[in-house]
Amino acid sequence: MFRSALIANRGEIACRVIRTARRMGLRTIAVYSEADAGAMHVAQADEAHLIGPPPAAQSYLLGDRILEAATASGAECIHPGYGFLSENAAFAEACAAAGIAFVGPPAAAIHLMGRKDDAKALMAKAGVPVVPGYDGSVQDAKALAIEAERIGYPVMIKAVAGGGGKGMRRVDETKSFAAALEGAQREGETAFGDGRVLLEKCIDRPRHIEVQVFADRSGNAVHLFERDCSLQRRHQKIIEEAPAPGMTEGLRARMGAAAVEAARAVGYVGAGTVEFLVDGGPLGDATGFYFLEMNTRLQVEHPVTEEVTGTDLVEWQFRVAAGETLPRTQDELRLQGHAVEARLYAEDPDRRFLPSAGPLHALRWPEGVRIDTGVRAGDAVTPFYDPMIAKIVAKGATRDAAMARLRAALAETVVAGPKTNLAFLHALLGDAGILAGEMDTALVDRGGGFSEVPGLDRTAVRLGAEALLRDRQAAIEARRERIANDAASPWSAADGFALGGTRGQRIVVEAGKETFEGVASWDGGGPHVRLDGDDGAPATANPHAAAIVPVDDGVIVVRNMRQTVVRLIQAGGGEAEAGAGSGVILAPMHGKITKIDVGVGQRVRKGDRLAVLEAMKMEHVLHAPFDGVVSELKTEEGAQIEEAAVVAVIAEGGGT
């Protein structure tokens, strides 16, 4: 067994690998960018090495920097986690050349499975079912459009080097094909350095079920059953579970055998996942399934497999990489109970789930569930990396028990800072259809009750205003006591007593870019706020607030798993935000402008694409808000811009 391991990753997966490595007695070595100098994984490792500036392309994706750190620290092996260099065949070869073990499959297997077209052809040859489509070398747009017509719409366009939903587009009709192809090619080139694509027939309402496989250098290979990853948004997994609901023993045996055969076909060693699209509807022994891709690494959702099989897959990875045989045979593996994982992301449901960044002012985890995280209260979610905050995993004797436990855990979780998908996950786990196991990969994107974004929480606004008034009152009292010696005077009592009845004061507060007016009244219990137009009891009678966290010049009220930022505005102040509808196009987040589609003086129509912003591994299209003319362009292609920076200005009316 190894004595030391360098973890070539960051965040929750780096912490996850460090946890197992230290339990096994390995000395742990972390690498970090300048943005991660104070990160949790750096603090947990025995030593850490700086490898570059914040952008991943200048740090975590530089194999030579990581190998330099491994050599300097005397690391005997490198665990790549997932993402970054985990599926980089050249990096695996460089590790071998440097005499450092790569905790992953052989470079040849990574290369074979890293190209969707090559992988699909190899799987078909090995007898693994594949989706009908086109994976040829001709990449001309017209030729691909002809192939799409031959296959028949709807079709999926996929970057051949893609993964995780990157470079993937669904096209339902001919007229949408050209734009979708351009976007998939550009995203593939940006994310993977390869703009080639393949086409596949779109299976109607499929399930996404994957099989965990493991193989050693002695020729042994097993599967550790399946995971259902059908709950996705824009091809990104949200909730995963094991085993798949409704799975039959006959179908499990067929899929498991196909997955093991896929691993053997590429001479696989280590942990891998074979992903399948499965025909929609109830599962049966004869249900059809089709090879989607093979991920030649540990998966984000591996904890649910660990929970139902009683294994530590990271330990298996280390042991197999060190030349040991698999810890268990297929006959020794058993399913025990059910596990469900929810991915908690820093993203804003009010803004179509755009990634959110910023400091984590408060963070509180529930008990009785597994939390895999790489952040602590006081850390920050930066715009440079994936915005995942944590994976929350619940296990139960049955699926119903596991789902209920996870939903309760989400309700107890507190995050204050970046906006999160916490309330959305909670709603998703309460959907009757999902609880019945009626899922497919497009369910979330089609929408439902779980996707409805509630309006601004007025109760949270009142609670925030009361908290700010209490703080202001406390500050006034503290200042009074410092400058006056009349603490014993009855006129100094802060009990709200006033001749003539309860006193009130008009206040103005700001929350969610809206301005509210109301009345604050005082009694012995402190201030009470009633906003204009409110009915019923004061907010403090039934607050349901999990936390009220001071921040800058206001507070964050965490209530019903949602965050409301509240600020108290001075009398006579508080103008509403100007510029709404003015045609000023702002960047929704920090990112890189990858394409500008218009020029100054160009006439545009409402909805026309103006520019494309790449941020946190995703593309965000900026559209014209109304018919008009581009009067200004404030940036250029390739530029890095900050959140809320002006990209362009659209003027109504004339132009050339």
Say whether pLDDT at 486 is over 60.
no
The pLDDT score that the predictor gives to residue 591 is 84
Please state, for a pLDDT cut of 70, what percent of the chain lies above it. Answer: 91
The domain 458-569 having CATH identifier 3.30.700: the answer here is yes
623 against 73, higher pLDDT: 73
334 against 350, higher pLDDT: 334
- Other Cβ atoms less than 10 A from the Cβ of 265: the count is 19
Instruction: Return contacts of 410-413, CB within 8 angstroms, 24+ apart.
Output: 410/342, 410/366, 410/561, 411/561, 412/364, 412/366, 412/367, 413/344, 413/364, 413/365, 413/366, 413/561
Q: What is the pTM of this model?
A: 0.80
As a residue count, the chain comes to 656
Please state, for a pLDDT cut of 90, what percent of the chain lies above it. Answer: 71
Beta-strand (E) ranges in 160-250? Answer: 168-171, 197-201, 207-215, 221-233, 236-242
Which residues lie below 8 Å from residue 614, measured CB to CB, with a gap of 6+? 190, 591, 592, 593, 594, 620
pLDDT band of residue 552 (cuts 50, 70, 90) is confident
User: What is the number of alpha carbons within 13 Å of residue 471 lying toward its C-beta?
Assistant: 15
Query: Stretch 367-379: mean pLDDT, rounded?
Result: 97
Cβ distance 439 to 207 under 8 Å? yes
Say whether pLDDT at 234 is over 50.
yes
Provide the residue ranges of all domains of the chain, joining segments of one domain with +.
4-103, 132-201, 207-451, 458-569, 584-651
Cα 313 from Cα 519, distance rounded (Å): 58
CATH T-level topology, domain 4-103: Rossmann fold (3.40.50)
Say whether pLDDT at 82 is over 90.
yes
Query: Stretch 552-567: mean pLDDT, rounded?
Result: 92
Say whether pLDDT at 205 is over 80.
yes
pLDDT band of residue 483 (cuts 50, 70, 90) is low
Max Cα distance, the chain (Å): 92
CATH number of 132-201: 3.30.1490.20
114 against 410, higher pLDDT: 410
Query: Stretch 633-637: mean pLDDT, rounded?
Result: 94
CATH T-level topology, domain 584-651: OB fold (Dihydrolipoamide Acetyltransferase, E2P) (2.40.50)
Across all residues in the chain, what is the average pLDDT? 89
454 against 242, higher pLDDT: 242
pLDDT band of residue 519 (cuts 50, 70, 90) is confident
Question: What are the angstrom distances between the C-alpha of 286 and each of 124, 249, 351, 506, 527?
Answer: 19, 11, 42, 69, 66
The pLDDT score that the predictor gives to residue 481 is 66
Say whether pLDDT at 451 is over 80.
no
| DSSP assigned state of 203 | P
Residue 300's φ and ψ, nearest 5 degrees, are -55, -40
Residues annotated as part of the active site: 297
Query: Stretch 145-150: mean pLDDT, rounded?
Result: 96
242 against 350, higher pLDDT: 242
pLDDT band of residue 32 (cuts 50, 70, 90) is very high
Handedness of CA 172, 173, 179, 184 (dihedral sign): positive
Query: Stretch 65-91: mean pLDDT, rounded?
Result: 97
As given in the structure block, the two tokens for residue 309 are 């099989």
Say whether pLDDT at 573 is over 60.
no
Radius of gyration of the chain (CA): 28
CATH T-level topology, domain 207-451: D-amino Acid Aminotransferase; Chain A, domain 1 (3.30.470)
Of 67-76, 493-502, 548-557, the poorest mean pLDDT is in 493-502
Say whether pLDDT at 362 is over 50.
yes
DSSP string covering 461-515, please? HHHHHHHHHHHHHHHHHHHHHHH-S-TT-GGG--S---TTS--EEEEEEEETTEE
Say whether pLDDT at 494 is over 70.
no
pLDDT band of residue 59 (cuts 50, 70, 90) is very high
154-187: pLDDT as tens digits: 999 999 987 777 899 999 999 999 999 999 999 9
The pLDDT score that the predictor gives to residue 480 is 60
Task: State which H helix or E strand residue 142 sits in.
Answer: helix 141-151
Of 107-121, 322-336, 491-505, 599-613, the poorest mean pLDDT is in 491-505
Query: Stretch 320-337: mean pLDDT, rounded?
Result: 98
| DSSP assigned state of 13 | H
Query: Stretch 202-225: mean pLDDT, rounded?
Result: 96
